[in-house]
Amino acid sequence: MSIGRTSARTGAGPYSDGVSTYVDQERGALIATFRELGPDAPTLCAGWDTRTLLAHLIRRERSVLELGARLRLPIVTAKAEAAMDRYAEEHSFEDMLTTFGSGSPRYSIFAVPALAEPINLLEYVIHHEDCRRPAGLEPRPLSAEFNQHVLKRLRPFAKLTMRKSPVGVSLEPSGERPIRVGKGATEPVVVAGQPVELALVATGRQAAAVVDYSGDPDAVAALTAAKFGV
C-alpha cells in the first residue's frame, strides 16, 4: 500500500484545510491495521497488546493524566497506566476503533489544525510500526511526499530522543541532509535508511528497524543497545 496525496477524510489535496492531511491518512491506515490484527496481537511496546496501544492513543487525545505519564514520574505513570487499562477493559475493540477514527475532540490540543502534524504524525507512524513489525509485515512503500513529512518531523525529534546517545550518530536518509546527534570520541556511526526506519531507531526500536549501520564496531554495538525516548 502506498500512501500518497489524497485526503482520507475529504478526498482533497494535502493542504486543502491549511494543514497536511497525512496525519488523517496515517490514522486511517493505523485503524485498518488494528482491525486486521485484532485486539490481542503483540506490539513493540513492552507489555502492550494492540488493545492497550489503541487505548493509549485514544486517551492521549483526551486525558491530561495520559499526557503526564510521558514525563516518566512513577506515581503519575502508574495512575495513567491503571486508567488506560480500565478504559481498555470497559470498551469493546470496535468501539475504540470508532472513537479513534472520529479524531481528536474539540477541547483537545490535538484538534488544533496547526499542531496536528507536529504532534501526531510521528506518534501514529511509529505506533503503526509497533503493530506491524511483530506480525512480520514488511516496511510499507510510502510516497516521497509522505517520507518528506516524516523526515521534517524527525529532524528535531531525533535530536531530543537521542540527546544522551553514548556515541555520535549520523542518521542518513537516502539523498537527504543527515541528522547529527550525540557525541563521541570516534567518527559518528552512520545509520542509513528510510525516514520511518530512522524514526524507529530514534525511539529505541533498533531491533525492528530496517537500516544499515557503519562505523566503529564497538560504537555500533553501543548504539544498537542504547535506549532512546523522550
Q: For 120-138, write each residue's pLDDT tens digit.
A: 999 999 999 999 999 999 9
Same-domain check for residues 127 and 160? no
Residue in this structure with the C-alpha cell 513489525, named with its chain if needed: 133
Sheet holding 179-181, edge to edge: 179-181, 169-172, 189-192, 212-214
Task: Supply the pLDDT for residue 71.
Answer: 59
Q: For 152-196, write each residue's pLDDT tens digit.
A: 999 999 999 999 999 999 999 998 999 999 887 679 999 999 999
Same-domain check for residues 53 and 128? yes
Position 118 in a domain: yes
Task: Supply the pLDDT for residue 68.
Answer: 60
CATH number at residue 188: 3.30.1050.20
Position 100 in a domain: yes
Task: Supply the pLDDT for residue 15.
Answer: 29
Cα distances (angstroms) measured from residue 74 to each of 6, 69, 81, 177: 42, 8, 10, 38
Q: Is the pLDDT of residue 207 over 90?
A: yes
What is the rounded average pLDDT of the residues 188-205?
98
Task: Supply the pLDDT for residue 73.
Answer: 66
Q: For 10-42, write each residue's pLDDT tens digit.
A: 333 332 333 448 999 999 999 999 999 999 999
Same-domain check for residues 131 and 26? yes
Q: What CA–CA distance (Å, rounded) separates 129 from 107? A: 28
Q: What CA–CA distance (Å, rounded) separates 158 from 181? A: 7
Same-domain check for residues 94 and 185? no
Same-domain check for residues 80 and 116? yes
Task: Supply the pLDDT for residue 12.
Answer: 31
Same-domain check for residues 165 and 131? no
Q: For 54-91, write each residue's pLDDT tens digit.
A: 999 999 998 876 666 565 667 777 888 888 999 999 99
91: its cell numbers: 470498551
Q: How far does Cα 195 stand from its chain's mean position?
A: 11
Q: How confident is the model at residue 150 (pLDDT cuts 50, 70, 90)?
A: very high
Q: What CA–CA distance (Å, rounded) separates 25 from 203? A: 22
Cα distances (angstroms) measured from residue 19 to each of 14, 22, 24, 91: 7, 9, 11, 32
Same-domain check for residues 90 and 26? yes
CB 202 within 8 A of CB 162: yes
CB 230 within 8 A of CB 161: yes
Same-domain check for residues 177 and 72? no
Position 219 in a domain: yes
How large is the angle between the packed helices 22-37 and 113-132, nearest 10 degrees? Answer: 30
Q: Domain residues for 219?
A: 154-225
Q: How many domains does the chain have?
A: 2
Say if pTM beats, i.e. exceeds, 0.85: yes
Name the region of 3 (left: φ>0; alpha: ψ -120 to 50; beta: rest): beta
